[in-house]
Amino acid sequence: MELFIQQLTNGLAVGGIYALIALGYTMVYGVLKLINFAHGDLFTIGAYLGLTLLTTLGLTNYLGPFGVVIVLALMVMGLVAIVGAALERVAYRPLRTSHRLSAVVSALGASIFFQNAVMLIYGARYKVYPHDILPRTAIHVFGLDIPLIRLLILLTSIVMMIGLYLFIQRTKIGTAIRAAAIDQGAAKLMGINVDRVIMIVFLIGPALGGAAGLMVGLYYGQINFTMGWLYGLKAFTAAILGGIGNIPGAMVGGLLLGVIEAMGAAYISIAWKDAIAFCVLILILIVRPTGLLGERVAEKI
Amino acid sequence: MSTLLSLKNLTKRFGGLVAVDHVSFDVETGSIVGLIGPNGAGKTTVFNLITGNYRPDEGEVVFEDRPIKNLPTHKIVSLGISRTFQTIRLFQKLSAIENVLAGCHCRMKAGSLAGMFRPPAQRREERQALETALQELQFVGLQDYAEQLAENLSYGNQRLLEIARALATQPRFIILDEPAGGMNNQETAALIETIRKIRDRGITVLLIEHDMSLVMEACEHLVVIENGAKIAEGTPQAIQNDPKVIEAYLGTDEE
Amino acid sequence: MKNKHIVIYVAFGVLLLFSPAFLNAYWVDVLNNVGLYTILALSLNIILGHAGLFHMGHAAFYALGAYTTAIINTTYHIPILWLLPVSGLVAGLAALVVARPIIHLRGDYLLIVTIGLVEIIRIALVNNVFGITGGSNGIFGISRPVLFGWKINKPWEFFYLIWGFAAVTIFLFDRLEKSRFGRALNYLREDDVAAEGSGINTAHYKLIAFVIGAFWAGMVGNIFAAKMTIIAPESFNFWESVVLFMIVLLGGRGSIRGVILGSFLVLGLPEIFRQFATARMLVFGAFMVVMMIFRTEGILPPLPRKYPIAKVLGREGSV
């Protein structure tokens, strides 16, 4: 039972991270019908930028632990958002009318570019986050000691997701995003500036991905320039699990995948942990490709 | 006259919408039949049910005394039914002759191994297919456009090309979905001739059309569909005077 | 027009034929790798270029072929070249089993599934599934191929084996392209509803495309295993699939000459720029983006197909 609760909370925390990354994939796919292969690398950039800012700005001198994290998160999110918007402008916008596969190759190229840029700047070895930013205490909950960090991460992810959900459902821009995701042409005819909507999607999605990168750095303490690939693929699985293009779906998918993975690692085998995510992916795509919350779209013949 | 195709109680629902509602009619061998009705009545859906693009929820489709309801589309084509599409689905980036060769595919046998090693039978088959394709292009009058890309042809010619491709499958029954869409009067008149020539080759024709002059001229028998259900059936003259049909197309007077 | 092309091809072929004579061992080995990738990319071209199936898991079939050869050769000492068709068969059968349930998936979904597949296979290899794959250390001690009593050992000997195989592949695939089978793949790529509606069994052809592509990749795996004598899972990771995918798309999908050129560029350029070692992948990534923007159909897209129409018309007068 103890193992179960620990793994559950662990799975939810990791799942929250997957969800934040998955949101980036799902929002971009929703409006552009494009899998942004470079998204995982934006996540990586977030993790590295977090480290740089942390060590160079010496924020711990001025602020308490939570203050540091909040300021750090805001800065990282802002910076990664800018990189994301630039990515869209340079690598994707010129290909909007071209064949789907061209955009895929461009995305792959951008991914290679970012990954190697990070490697050139920071080196190929693992980098370590300072351990003492957040208190490494445990909270006594459900009769168990659960690490504070884990709960904080879970809480933060949930807060961000709720924020995004409200933004998408209740604001004018959010509605514009949803409209553009359903039918770009019609949205344009309704006076929606689709270019701007897309740019906003590429600000929000990468921002969340960057935040997730920061969280991984704080939670696991270690980052590497290749981490974007595995996290990216898993987050993509989460997005598909929930229904690609569906925002609540990405949230549900992320949390669910995190828990499935944690349980699988604990009760089946830790060596196959990564394979679990891929098995889930393939199963979902064969059995229910539109995902848990996705909608069927019929083709008119 | 025997019955070539028989639809019995054909029904198709999409969620809560009944697109085709217990439609029944027969097509006699060697006839030219028109399926008409207001927009959105379900005519193309009936076609899609015949060709296997959709599975019916209820009812039967019987072709040459053989039930074909749940067969895959390509099998139905090889059994002798071919079609054109309402929205024109040509292989736009390929040439006209290549488009027609697609129709020849199901009457050929060579597989990947034969393709690689080219035994004499395969070479003969390729020559024959090319001849057949050119013949069909000539039949619709497009022989001079053989090497043009499909997307470069005029709208009217694209419709003719689709017909040529459908004819290359050597069908006994061809269904044409709005073949005169986008054609002018001259082209339409030529199309009527072509449809008659198709029937003279021994191929039965079923068509959907909104162009009433074509329908009245070319069709011997009409079936009228409204809101998914058949509301009338008969000769063009009878249908023209049928009050139910007039109401479906034009509405009733306000009293 | 046609003659100019033939002259170029012949000149290139002759140059290639005699290249081991004036290149050192290192560069011959580079050309050997180019050769292997060329055949792999041509096999992927059938699936991705002709049939238009978004397949980014080709390394999985390559891996299956290599491991089949490695395991059987080291356990039962069966000569390498005898295992060539066996490796192809294993890979082809795997494709048959794996592709059937996923063949109907729409483009992007298929892409992701194939990525997932190649990863699962890699993880299975690393975890020494069934106890025969040697785990992450792989398998060593694979023998060299023996052709009519001649043991193939040195780079230049492999050069002729590999490029001989490549030449046969090019010849057969060119014919395949121009045959009924090749046409069927193109039709279903362009519009699979129209293809099915014209009487083409699209599911069948997609499957066969996968099987043929996998079969060939499996055979390449055999030669790769014999050339390296040691194989390990990391030679068959996702990145390998990406490289092949890129070769087909950058070179020109559906075009044999494009794919050959693509292999030379994708593998040769980083070699030539090896002195700028660290930045070359960075530049390469940027190059990919630029290429897609300015020449989205690839460097050498396929030429429109010509049919001997005049000949047919001439013979008959008019048909």
Strands C230-231 and C139-140: antiparallel
Strands B221-226 and B229-234: antiparallel
Same domain for B158 and B179, yes or no, is no
DSSP structural state of residue A298: P
How many other β-carbons are positioned within 10 Å of the β-carbon of residue C289? 24
Contact: C308, B108; criterion CB under 8 Å? no
If interface means Cβ-Cβ distance under 8 Å, which residues of chain A face chain C?
29, 33, 35, 90-91, 94-95, 98-106, 108-117, 120, 229, 233, 236-237, 240, 271-272, 274-275, 278-279, 281-282, 285-286, 289, 299, 301
What class has domain C2-306?
mainly alpha
Count of domains observed in chain B:
2
Same domain for B152 and B133, yes or no, is yes
Task: Provide φ and ψ at A230, rounded to 5°.
Answer: -65, -45
pLDDT tens digit sequence for A158-210: 899 899 999 988 998 899 988 888 888 888 888 888 899 999 999 999 999 99
How far apart (Å, rounded) are the C-alpha atoms in residues B223 and B204?
15
- Work out whether the CA dihedral C136, C141, C142, C145 comes out positive or negative: positive
Contact: A102, C193; criterion CB under 8 Å? no
CA distance C112 to chain A (A): 8
Average per-residue pLDDT for chain A: 86
Q: Answer whether residue C2 shows pLDDT above 70.
A: no
Q: Tell whether B87 is covered by a domain.
A: no
Contact: C286, A98; criterion CB under 8 Å? no
pLDDT tens digit sequence for A220-275: 888 998 889 889 989 988 998 998 888 889 999 999 999 999 988 888 777 777 77
Same domain for B104 and B160, yes or no, is yes
Q: Please state the ipTM of this predicted complex.
A: 0.90
pLDDT tens digit sequence for C195-228: 999 999 999 999 999 999 999 999 999 999 999 9
Q: Tell whether B85 is covered by a domain.
A: no
List CB contacts of B38: < 8 A, sequence separation 6 or more. B226, B248, B249
Residue with tokens 């023996």: C146
Which residue from C108, C127, C278 is facing A35, i.e. has the nearest CB?
A: C108
In chain A, whose CA is at the least distance from the CA of B51? A301
Q: Residue-wise over B88-111: b if at least 16 C-beta within 10 A, else e? A: bbbbbebbbbbbbbbbbbbebebe
pLDDT tens digit sequence for B42-95: 899 999 999 999 999 999 999 999 999 999 999 999 999 999 999 999 999 999
Element (H, E) at C114: helix C107-126
Which residue from C196, C197, C319 is facing B135, i.e. has the nearest CB?
A: C319
Same domain for B57 and B24, yes or no, is yes
pLDDT tens digit sequence for C163-172: 999 999 999 9
Task: Using CB atoms within 10 Å of the CB of residue A284, give its burial: 0 to 12 exposed, 13 to 18 middle, 19+ buried.
Answer: buried
Extract the tokens encoding A252.
């549900």
How many other β-carbons are positioned within 10 Å of the β-carbon of residue B125? 19
Of the candidates A203, A180, A209, A156, the one whose C-alpha atom is nearest the C-alpha of residue A96 is: A180
pLDDT band at C319 (very low <50, low <70, confident <90, very high): very low
- Say what percent of chain B tops pLDDT 70: 97
How far apart (Å, rounded) are the C-alpha atoms in residues B28 and B250?
30
Same domain for B194 and B141, yes or no, is no
| Last-in-domain residue among B109, B143, B169 | B169
Least confident of A98-107, A108-117, C40-49, C75-84: A98-107
- Parent domain of B137: 95-169
Q: Which CATH number is B198's domain given?
A: 3.40.50.300
| Last-in-domain residue among B122, B142, B169 | B169
| Last-in-domain residue among B149, B169, B189 | B169
Same domain for B181 and B235, yes or no, is yes
- Say what percent of chain C tops pLDDT 90: 41
pLDDT at B255: 47
How far apart (Å, rounded) are the C-alpha atoms in residues C24 and A146?
62
Give the Å distances, CA to CA, from C99 to A125, B111, C105, C202, C213.
38, 19, 10, 13, 12
Partnered with residue B18 across adjacent β-strands are B13
Same domain for B51 and B120, yes or no, is no
CB C186 within 8 A of CB C120: no
Same domain for B1 and B75, yes or no, is yes
Same domain for B243 and B176, yes or no, is yes
Give the Å distances, CA to CA, from B1 to A26, B27, B29, B30, B232.
59, 10, 6, 8, 21
List CB contacts of C50: < 8 A, sequence separation 6 or more. C177, C182, C185, C186, C189, C209, C254
Same domain for B73 and B191, yes or no, is yes
Q: What is the Cα Rg of chain A in Å?
A: 19
CB B170 within 8 A of CB B104: no
Considering only residues C108 and B59, tell me which one the structure prediction assigns the higher pLDDT. Answer: B59
CA distance B235 to chain C (A): 30
Segments making up each domain of chain C, as ranges: 2-306
pLDDT at A63: 73
Same domain for B198 and B127, yes or no, is no
Extract the tokens encoding C225.
């295993």
Same domain for B147 and B32, yes or no, is no
Q: pLDDT 10s digit of each residue in chain B, 255 long?
A: 689 999 999 999 988 889 999 999 999 999 999 999 888 888 999 999 999 999 999 999 999 999 999 999 999 999 999 999 999 999 999 999 999 999 999 999 999 999 999 999 999 999 999 999 999 999 999 999 999 999 999 999 999 999 999 999 999 999 999 999 888 889 999 999 999 999 999 999 999 998 888 999 999 999 999 999 999 999 998 988 888 888 877 666 654
Residues C28-52, mean pLDDT to the nearest whole number: 94
